Structure 1
Amino acid sequence: MRSRMLKASAIGTALVVGSVVLTACGDDGGSKAEKPAASESGSAGAEEQSTAAVRGAYDKTAEAETAKMTVEVKAAAGGQSVTSDGEGAIDLADGDSTMTLTAEGKTIEQRVVDQVLYQKAPGQKSSDGKSWMKIDLKKVAERQGANPQQVGDPAQSAAYAKAITDDDVSKVGTEKIDGVNTDRYKVSVDVARLPGGARLRQQVGPTLPMQIWLDDEGRIRRQQVDMTIKAPASAQPEASASPQQVKVSTLMEFSDFGTEVDAEAPPADQVADMTDQVLRGGQNQG
């Protein structure tokens, strides 16, 4: 049970996080933090600058239109761990992407087109012989509301900006990523301010620790999100004396801004729609 739950969490998070990371973010929204009074120390001004840099990063990254992307998801529970890796390219304007994901020695081909996730695993076919499965991400989000996997959903990227205040951001230094100079920030996202925050708070806690690395143009080069997910009661082993938790760390990197992205849906006669099964599974888990 634990191994199955852990694998599902790791791969499931990678599916959504790796699918689309930044869709059209629009403005950074939310109320602006009040400016410090003139009598306050200069550190307040530095904090405000850091917050502005982080909050504006999503828009500035989206302005690059496209990028190559890698994602690494590590999940651990009950003394076991699973790591999944992905690489591909993403259209930062509409969220379409192509990726290859690898977990536990298995490779999955993935595409996201018009908010629909398509996946193909070698040697695996549906009961009617179709080699691709699809999940309507928008339908799942509308029916289930926020869940831990949606923390990495690109549709929530703008929401990060709205959920960050001056007290939530601190600059911790500089670092080179693939030869590019970056500023590194630690961020604490107020989960209650995210869409579906009430439900999400029950599953991941009140705050979401995040680190973000920005280049000289204010674009995201690396982002790391760490969370501890509380498993639904229905997923708990019967003999478990305490709630099962899965610790998930997701690391994303962006490079080669402006790269070509060619994401197309597979032929319809090769696709099996798994959306309803996903929705039923979510309902069974409470």
Structure 2
Amino acid sequence: MRRTALSTVVLVLGALLGACDGGAVSFADARALADGATSATDGKAAKFVTEVTAGTMRSKSQGQARVAGTGTALAMTTDFLGEPLELRLVDKIVFAKVPEAAREDVPGGKPWVKVSPDGADPFSQVAGGSIDQLAKQNDPGRSLDQVRKAGTLVESGHTELDGVPSERYRLDVDMAALGGDLPAGLSAEAIGGLRGKLGKIPMEIWLDDAHRPLRIVLDLAPVLAASGVPDSAMARIVTRYSEWDTQADIQAPPPEEIGEIPAG
């Protein structure tokens, strides 16, 4: 009887452990993961919170994203450079709301301007590249495209994230294979200067049971290490997505509210 009872306990524990693992994950390689999650999010909207850490620097953004194959639309606020800044990404154009104290530099005092990494206006020249990448990095479609272009699946499994059953994927992303499509805060010039020193960087993606991203973590510590920053320095981008059934009507600012800062 003791042997029978012990066998029963072993079988029960085995069943429980098997239920926690949940068997094989949905995607066996990086491309399949990117394609599956892209298909699952097309036409959907979610709320997001992104935290960027680089050494002692901290930055936080939050907002809504409406994902589409033709381009994700975003409405967000961020504490860029320690000041609150409102951004919108619509039709692949980034709009920034000018702080009231600086609107005297915009003809007519209009509240919005277009921001471009190669713009000739002073605002774009000072912060255009960083703002453009910051807005676009919150786009899950862009992150998945980076996985598709340069990702290699390292590990996968079933887990819970904040009490939600999920699949967790660990990947390596080859920075050289990304070309100019780099994570927020990184320029092609900076990466070019690290050529030969920087190989792959880790990324983690958690998907819900409908294959939609719950969290994406990009570990940029190898970039700091290749730049000569002490190994103890931490650098990563963490984006959390929630409420994938959100209704998000994200539009560009009205044309009459968009100004243009004269080139300096």
- Is TM more than 0.5 here? yes
Q: Count matched residues.
A: 210
Is residue 111–residue 257 contact of structure 2 (8 Å, CA) maintained in 1? yes
User: How far apart are residue 125 of structure 1 and its match?
Assistant: 2.1
Is residue 31–residue 148 contact of structure 2 (8 Å, CA) maintained in 1? no
User: How far apart are residue 188 of structure 1 and its match?
Assistant: 0.4
Deviations 1:62-98 (A, max 9, x none): 335222222111222xxxx222222211110031111
1:276 and 1:207 map into 2 onto residues whose CA distance is 39
Give 3-state SS (helix, strand or coil) of 1:252's partner.
Answer: strand
Is residue 174–residue 183 contact of structure 1 (8 Å, CA) maintained in 2? yes
Q: What is the match of residue 164 of structure 1? A: 151
1:161 and 1:139 map into 2 onto residues whose CA distance is 29
Q: What is the match of residue 54 of structure 1? A: 33
1:46 and 1:91 map into 2 onto residues whose CA distance is 26
1:98 and 1:86 map into 2 onto residues whose CA distance is 10
Is residue 159–residue 195 contact of structure 1 (8 Å, CA) maintained in 2? no
Q: What is the match of residue 75 of structure 1? A: 54
Q: What is the match of residue 132 of structure 1? A: 112
Deviations 1:101-156 (A, max 9, x none): 2357632221111111112254332413333232146989xxxxx99948936546
The verdict on how the C-alpha distance between 1:248 and 1:185 changes in structure 2, with shifts beyond 3 A counting, is same
Opposite residue 226 of structure 1, the aligned amino acid is: D
Q: What is the match of residue 124 of structure 2? A: none
2:169 and 2:80 map into 1 onto residues whose CA distance is 29
Give 3-state SS (helix, strand or coil) of 2:248's partner.
Answer: coil
Q: Which runs of 5+ in 2 are unaligned?
A: 1-23, 121-128, 182-187
The verdict on how the C-alpha distance between 1:263 and 1:212 changes in structure 2, with shifts beyond 3 A counting, is same
Give 3-state SS (helix, strand or coil) of 2:100's partner.
Answer: coil
Give 3-state SS (helix, strand or coil) of 1:222's partner.
Answer: strand
User: How far apart are residue 57 of structure 1 and its match?
Assistant: 4.2
Mapped pair 1:207 → 2:200: yes
User: How far apart are residue 192 of structure 1 and its match?
Assistant: 2.4
User: How far apart are residue 164 of structure 1 and its match?
Assistant: 2.4
Give 3-state SS (helix, strand or coil) of 2:144's partner.
Answer: helix
Deviations 1:185-231 (A, max 9, x none): 2110112222348867435722121111111222211001122557x
The verdict on how the C-alpha distance between 1:181 and 1:137 changes in structure 2, with shifts beyond 3 A counting, is farther
The verdict on how the C-alpha distance between 1:96 and 1:124 changes in structure 2, with shifts beyond 3 A counting, is farther
Q: What is the match of residue 30 of structure 1? A: none
1:217 and 1:95 map into 2 onto residues whose CA distance is 19
Q: What is the match of residue 17 of structure 2? A: none
1:275 and 1:250 map into 2 onto residues whose CA distance is 34
User: How far apart are residue 182 of structure 1 and its match?
Assistant: 1.1
The verdict on how the C-alpha distance between 1:56 and 1:203 changes in structure 2, with shifts beyond 3 A counting, is farther
User: How far apart are residue 53 of structure 1 and its match?
Assistant: 5.5
Is residue 95–residue 113 contact of structure 2 (8 Å, CA) maintained in 1? yes
1:220 and 1:274 map into 2 onto residues whose CA distance is 37
Mapped pair 1:116 → 2:93: yes
TM-score by length of 2: 0.63
Give 3-state SS (helix, strand or coil) of 2:250's partner.
Answer: coil
> Which one of 47, 61, 64 corresponds to residue 89 of structure 1?
64
Q: What is the match of residue 226 of structure 1? A: 219
Give 3-state SS (helix, strand or coil) of 2:253's partner.
Answer: coil
Opposite residue 66 of structure 2, the aligned amino acid is: D
Opposite residue 189 of structure 1, the aligned amino acid is: V
Is residue 50–residue 240 contact of structure 2 (8 Å, CA) maintained in 1? yes
Give 3-state SS (helix, strand or coil) of 2:151's partner.
Answer: coil
TM-score by length of 1: 0.59
1:163 and 1:250 map into 2 onto residues whose CA distance is 17
User: How far apart are residue 264 of structure 1 and its match?
Assistant: 2.1
Give 3-state SS (helix, strand or coil) of 2:28's partner.
Answer: helix
Q: Which runs of 5+ in 1 are unaligned?
A: 1-44, 141-145, 231-241, 278-286
1:209 and 1:225 map into 2 onto residues whose CA distance is 6
